[in-house]
Amino acid sequence: MRILSLIVLSSLIFQTTTRAQGLEKNLQTALDRLQQDSQCRYASISLTVLDAETGKEVFSAHPNVGLAPASTLKTLTSITAFNVLGADFKFQTLFGYSGAIDATGTLNGDVIIKGGGDPTLASWRYPQTKENNILTQLVAALKKAGIKKINGRIIGDDSLFDTQAVPDGWIWQDVGNYYGAGASALCWRENTFDIKYETSTVGNPVKVIGTSPAMPYIDFRSEVTTGAPGTGDHSYAYVPVGTKNMYVRGSYSTDKAEKSISVSMTDPAYDAAWRLSDTLKRIGIAISGEPVSVTTLTAANLPLPAMSKTLTSINSPDLGKIVYWLNKKSINLYAEQLIKTIAQRSGKKVSTRGGVSAVKSFWQAKGIDSAALNIYDGSGLSPGDRITTSALAQILRTAADQPWFGVFYESLPLYNNMHMKSGTIADVVAYAGYQTHQGRKLCFSAIINNYTGSTTAVRQKLFKVLDELK
């Protein structure tokens, strides 16, 4: 009986080893084919595959070469946030006032919206965070306090974060567009709005005919030309610096149906204050002063008053729901808000650099060489980011045995019938995620830098390599 058991055990070990060797061989063959492809002749390619339960290396090719990860970096930020902040973490926005309310219901002071870093405030993605719902809560709090008139201003207070909204390394062309919206302790509508176009005949100017929502405090200057049918949207917004002028430049195809682009706000705290001020005036609550933010106060050399009375607080959805959209739609803003919040929770300066330092320190303590995480932001939008597939795969493996893993796993989009986060910036295609191969749970990170030609084509070629994990 003992001999029979040993024979069965030996047979199982042999089968497992044979399958592992077969997978390794197939991956190597597929990777060699990709490296020899004309699109990848001068490319750097790295792939690391680990057993998600044991951490044992299943396959690697150039695992310790630092490459630009693009948005696969969001998996690192997400996993670190779960570890540092906790799966039940919620952001909190405080609402109150300075000064005092007199017997007539006049507030002699300022109404203050004090941001706590919540990226979902006034976002359309969750029922409770929609702009109208948030404004209704704020108005209700003022009415409950008996405020009928405000002898002061509405202040958007984003002082919790540092003054550098955009991380080092982001390119100017990205910053004005929705995916380049900067971080703010007081976000509003994900710090974006839409510019509406009216196209003309090919080669003639595209007109800006409005925005959604209305942005009456910004002047728009269009240098966009109408492109030929089929050429698509190649127009970009350039954020105002020291002026109220926002330029849009490039071309926009005459046959595009949307006739609009989504762009970033330069001062979302001001926009939040403006929206509330406008709402109050519409319902008959007079306000003597114009809305302001910390940025506009600083520019005018005016102090930020302290909140003397808190009227209400607004909580965000929990971290799991935020990470869901962060990864599903690859929202750069969410990642940048989280990395600054990680800095705050870790006792670092509340800045992107502080967050990067906190992330590297956290994983250094877990045995990941900090030099393998040469990053500048939390989203991967910076082309200067460098990370190794070995480090990222190891970090993915640590998540697999955590109680919040199911929530994180569900946040990963389904590409090529595999749960994995994608990453794409100029000449970069990357994927990171999980796959079960013949009953064995695997995690992986794959990155290609400096390929040539079509992104769609090289993506499909990388999928053929990853197909071996199925």
Report pLDDT digits (tens) over 264-279: 999 999 999 999 999 9
Other CB atoms within 10 A of residue 104 CB = 8
Whether residue 403 is preceded by a cis peptide bond, meaning omega within 30 degrees of 0, is no
If pLDDT is split at 50, 70 and 90, which confidence band does 8 have? very low
Secondary structure (3-state) at 184: coil
pLDDT value at residue 244: 86
State yes or no: pLDDT of 340 exceeds 80: yes
For residue 286, give the 3-state DSSP assignment. Answer: strand
Question: Tell me: the pLDDT tens digits for 64-100?
Answer: 999 999 999 999 999 999 999 999 999 999 999 999 9
Res. 160: pLDDT tops 60: yes
Domain boundaries for CATH 3.50.80.20 within the chain? 92-163+267-314
**C-alpha closest to that of 44 among 389, 380, 433:** 389
Q: Is 92-163+267-314 a domain of CATH 3.50.50.60?
A: no
Q: What is the pLDDT, as a whole number, of residue 5?
A: 52
What per-residue confidence (pLDDT) applies to 14? 45
3 has a pLDDT exceeding 80: no
Are β-strands 219-227 and 245-253 bridged in parallel, bridged antiparallel, or unpaired?
parallel
- Name the pLDDT band for 13 (thresholds 50, 70, 90): very low
- C-alpha to C-alpha distances, 319 to 177, 328, 334, 338, nearest whole angstrom: 25, 14, 10, 9
The better pLDDT of the pair 34, 242 is held by 34
Within the chain, which residue ranges are assigned CATH 3.40.710.10? 30-87+320-469
At the topology level, CATH places domain 30-87+320-469 in: Beta-lactamase (3.40.710)
* The predicted structure's pLDDT at residue 163: 95
Whether residue 333 is predicted with pLDDT greater than 70 in this model: the reply is: yes
Q: Is 9 exposed, middle or buried (0-12, 13-18, 19+ CB in 10 A)?
A: exposed
Q: Is 211's pLDDT higher than 70?
A: yes
Of 442, 435, 439, nearest to 463 (Cα)? 435
Cα–Cα dist 376/380, whole Å: 8
| Average pLDDT value for the chain | 95
> Is the per-residue pLDDT at 11 higher than 50?
no
Give the least confident one: 10-24, 66-80, 161-175, 227-241.
Answer: 10-24
For 308-322, the pLDDT digits (tens) are 999 999 999 999 999
Which pLDDT score, from 0 to 100, does residue 239 have?
82
Q: Cβ atoms within 10 A of the Cβ of 228, count?
A: 11
Question: Alpha-carbon distance 440 to 438, whole Å?
Answer: 6
* pLDDT class of 19 with cuts at 50, 70, 90: low
HSE, side-chain direction, 13 A CA sphere, residue 33 = 15
